[in-house]
């Protein structure tokens, strides 16, 4: 009754891995936009799509996080049919 | 007809349309608190998407976003960054919140936590935190609406009259239609703002420089320091990485806990709708990019505009555009102000009555009486905020800074609510209290903020250990009760 419980006991191992991976992705997405990782992408040139590289990079993170979430959503739909599972991580 | 009359007519037409949308929508919900506050838990995806998007697309995004890009350059990227990840936690705790809300009849954020920790004090504390976060934001939105009218009439209409006009409309539809009025006007206003953001964001760089690429090319030659994070601070000095990074962290943590967003979890028709709203939220975030272009387009051509938030109206007035276009812009700025203001006003009324007054003084209050008093409270809070916005010069800067710092202190509570069975009411209250106290202290004494790190982060560094230690020192809660909430 003491420890942290992140995963419902009914989740399969694959499901836990997927949720774990998504969580790690979002930690990375955050880390990539702040110090120190952001310093790697923090350049004015080359201009991409007319934007400075720094802004283009953040736009890429926005798009990537949208795609990851969309894939997770669709994966859940395939797993459980039209109604998502009763309990998530 | 003089140009300003055309501009005013377009703006007034927009206001009338908002009122019509807001009033018409109220017929679709029942008359009790479930209908007035949570829309009978029956909102579909499209409406949910715009409610979330437009509430966030506030006067801050529409006027403040370009203002930041204009005066602080890449510092404005932080707005883009935190919004991207800010709603992600919803995907994981939102479905649980929605299901428990349906089961136990919650319509506000504090009701969930107060039930989980069986604590009236927690309900009252969370209601106070919500008010501290709400009032300065609401006052800013009302001021923003007043300035819009002041600008379109070239100073003929004073700020107080413009603010009164716009917020009279908001009050009418929030009073009558509750959350349904907020939801449908936000859908209308959201579509309008999207079109305008892309239109202006691409048009202005083209008009001033011949294209977005050419604009950044010119900026890269002249002011490269404004194009890389962390950009500039509020007085033009380089901003620190610590301040930039911690601003993103604290805003991302506090974002999903804004009580007026959180309440919208209960309004979703089903879990699928809720999850889809979270999934598509970053598409709204993309619309901030053209908004930032607007600010960047002013740096070289319109130097030294004060205050920086006036950069967008200044550019528009300086370009000799047709009056109808300027009118549409003003309507957009009004939409941004009203779509945030209405949600906050509605939530503030609900929180004060449901979480504070009812819990502490009138537990037997009937549902009809609650709806009545929430409506009355909407009027009171509207009047107080209007007074603060136009009649006084009270500085709200400290409160604004506190908002996100305070909201982030709630984040550990949601984690322990669902994931840590051993957490106790004493622990949660002590953690929240200590976290908020430290946040206030660091706000009052900026010299304590090592590396410019946000006061809310220091608050969390105290909040979490206090919550854990006090919880472990106090008796555990009843297992059967806790198991209704915690992941099994």
Asked if B473 has any chain A CB less than 8 Å from its own CB, the reply is no
Assigned domain for A53 exists: yes
Assigned domain for A27 exists: yes
User: Of B89, B415, B413, B410, nearest to B274 (Cα)?
Assistant: B89
Assigned domain for A70 exists: yes
Following DSSP, what letter does each residue of B100-135 receive, concatenated?
A: HHHHHT--SHHHHHHHHTT-HHHHHHHHHHHHHHHH
Alpha carbon distance B24, B62 (integer Å): 27
**Which residues, in sequence order, are CB contacts of B305 under 8 Å at separation 6+?**
B70, B298, B311, B314
Contact B85 A45 (CB under 8 A): no
Would you say B402 and B152 are in contact if contact means Cβ atoms under 8 Å apart?
no
Name the minimum distance, in Å, from the CA of B336 to any CA of chain A: 22
Kindly list the residues from chain B whose CB atom is less than 8 angstroms away from the CB atom of residue A29: 84-85
Alpha carbon distance B417, B424 (integer Å): 10
Alpha carbon distance B461, B468 (integer Å): 12
Burial of B437 by CB count in 10 Å (0-12 exposed, 13-18 middle, 19+ buried)? Answer: middle
Name the minimum distance, in Å, from the CA of A12 to any CA of chain B: 14
SS3 B303: coil
Alpha carbon distance B109, B258 (integer Å): 9
Angle at B284 between CA B279 and CA B351, to 5 degrees: 80
Classify the phi-psi angles of B453: left when phi > 0, otherwise alpha if psi is within -120 to 50, otherwise beta.
Answer: beta
Residue tagged 């004493």 (tokens): B426
The DSSP symbol for B37 reads H
Would you say B100 and B106 are in contact if contact means Cβ atoms under 8 Å apart?
yes
**Which residues, in sequence order, are CB contacts of B168 under 8 Å at separation 6+?**
none
Please give the residue range of the domain that contains residue A68. Answer: 13-79
Residue B228 is nearest to which of A10, A51, A54, comparing CB atoms? Answer: A54
pLDDT at A2: 57
Name the minimum distance, in Å, from the CA of A60 to any CA of chain B: 10
Assigned domain for A1 exists: no
For residue B197 the two structure tokens come to 């953001």
Assigned domain for A88 exists: no
Interface test with B, best of A24, A50, A63 (most B CBs within 10 A): A50
Helices B212-222 and B288-301 sit at what angle, rounded to 10 degrees? 50
pLDDT at B185: 84
Asked if B249 has any chain A CB less than 8 Å from its own CB, the reply is yes
Alpha carbon distance B343, B351 (integer Å): 12
B residues 213-242 lying closer than 8 A (beta carbon) to A? 213-217, 219-220, 224, 227-230, 241-242
Asked if A70 has any chain B CB less than 8 Å from its own CB, the reply is yes
Residues of chain A with pLDDT under 70: 1-2, 81-89
Assigned domain for A3 exists: no
The count of domains in chain A is 1
Residues of chain B with pLDDT under 50: none
Would you say B449 and B250 are in contact if contact means Cβ atoms under 8 Å apart?
no
Following DSSP, what letter does each residue of B47-92 receive, concatenated?
A: HHHHHHHHHHS-HIIIIIHHHHHHHHGGGGHHHHHHHHHHTHHHHH
Assigned domain for A6 exists: no
pLDDT at A84: 47
Asked if A43 has any chain B CB less than 8 Å from its own CB, the reply is yes
Name the minimum distance, in Å, from the CA of A85 to any CA of chain B: 9
Whole-model pTM above 0.80? yes
Asked if B202 has any chain A CB less than 8 Å from its own CB, the reply is no
Residue tagged 């499901």 (tokens): A15
Classify the phi-psi angles of A51: left when phi > 0, otherwise alpha if psi is within -120 to 50, otherwise beta.
Answer: beta
Asked if B468 has any chain A CB less than 8 Å from its own CB, the reply is no
Interface test with A, best of B91, B212, B278 (most A CBs within 10 A): B91
A residues 3-42 lying closer than 8 A (beta carbon) to B? 4-10, 26, 29-30, 33-36, 38, 42
Interface test with B, best of A34, A38, A61 (most B CBs within 10 A): A34
pLDDT at B439: 93
pLDDT at A1: 46
């Amino acid at each position: 009754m003491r420890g942290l419980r992140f995963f419902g006991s009914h989740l399969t191992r694959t499901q836990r891995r997927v949720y774990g991976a998504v969580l790690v992705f979002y930690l990375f997405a955050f880390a990539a936009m702040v110090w120190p990782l952001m310093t790697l992408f923090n350049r004015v040139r080359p201009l991409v799509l007319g934007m400075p590289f720094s802004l283009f990079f953040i736009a890429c993170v926005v798009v990537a996080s949208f795609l990851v979430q969309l894939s997770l959503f669709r994966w859940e739909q395939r797993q459980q049919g039209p109604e998502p599972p009763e309990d998530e991580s | 007809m003089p140009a300003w009359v055309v501009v005013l007519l377009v703006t007034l037409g927009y206001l009338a349309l908002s009122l019509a949308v807001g009033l018409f929508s109220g017929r679709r919900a029942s008359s009790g608190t479930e209908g007035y506050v949570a829309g009978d838990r029956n909102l579909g995806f499209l409406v949910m998407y715009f409610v979330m998007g437009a509430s966030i697309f506030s006067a801050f995004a529409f006027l403040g976003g370009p203002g930041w890009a204009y005066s602080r350059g890449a510092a404005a990227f932080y707005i883009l960054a935190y919004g991207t990840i800010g709603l992600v936690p919803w995907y994981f705790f939102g479905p649980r919140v929605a299901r428990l809300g349906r089961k136990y009849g919650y319509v506000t954020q504090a009701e969930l936590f107060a039930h989980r920790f069986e604590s009236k004090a927690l309900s009252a504390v969370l209601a106070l935190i919500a008010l501290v976060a709400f009032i300065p934001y609401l006052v800013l939105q009302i001021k923003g609406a007043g300035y819009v009218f002041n600008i379109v009439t070239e100073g003929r209409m004073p700020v107080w009259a413009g603010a009164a006009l716009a917020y009279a409309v908001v009050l009418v539809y929030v009073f009558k239609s509750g959350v349904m009025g907020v939801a449908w006007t936000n859908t209308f206003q959201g579509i309008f703002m999207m079109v305008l953001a892309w239109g202006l964001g691409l048009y202005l760089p083209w008009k001033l420089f011949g294209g977005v690429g050419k604009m950044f090319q010119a900026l890269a030659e002249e002011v490269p320091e404004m194009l890389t994070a962390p950009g500039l601070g509020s007085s033009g000095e380089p901003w620190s990485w610590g301040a930039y990074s911690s601003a993103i962290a604290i805003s991302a943590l506090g974002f999903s806990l804004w009580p007026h967003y959180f309440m919208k979890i209960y309004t979703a028709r089903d879990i699928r709708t809720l999850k889809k709203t979270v999934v598509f939220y970053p598409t709204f975030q993309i619309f901030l990019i053209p908004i930032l272009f607007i600010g960047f387009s002013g740096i070289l051509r319109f130097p030294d505009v004060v205050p920086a938030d006036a950069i967008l109206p200044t550019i528009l007035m300086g370009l000799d555009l047709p009056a109808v276009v300027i009118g549409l812009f003003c309507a957009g700025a009004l939409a941004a102000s009203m779509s945030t203001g209405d949600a906050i006003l509605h939530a503030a009324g609900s929180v004060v009555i449901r979480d504070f007054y009812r819990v502490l003084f009138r537990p037997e209050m009937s549902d009809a009486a609650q709806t009545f008093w929430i409506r009355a409270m909407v009027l009171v809070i509207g009047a107080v905020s209007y007074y603060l916005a136009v009649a006084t010069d009270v500085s709200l800067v400290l409160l604004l800074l506190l908002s996100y710092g305070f909201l982030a202190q709630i984040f550990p509570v949601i984690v322990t609510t669902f994931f840590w069975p051993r957490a106790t009411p004493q622990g949660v209250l002590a953690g929240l209290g200590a976290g908020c106290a430290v946040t206030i202290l660091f706000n009052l004494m900026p010299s304590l903020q090592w590396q410019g790190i946000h006061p809310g982060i220091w608050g969390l560094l105290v909040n979490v250990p206090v919550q854990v230690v006090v919880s472990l020192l106090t008796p555990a809660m009843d297992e059967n009760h806790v198991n209704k909430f915690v992941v099994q």
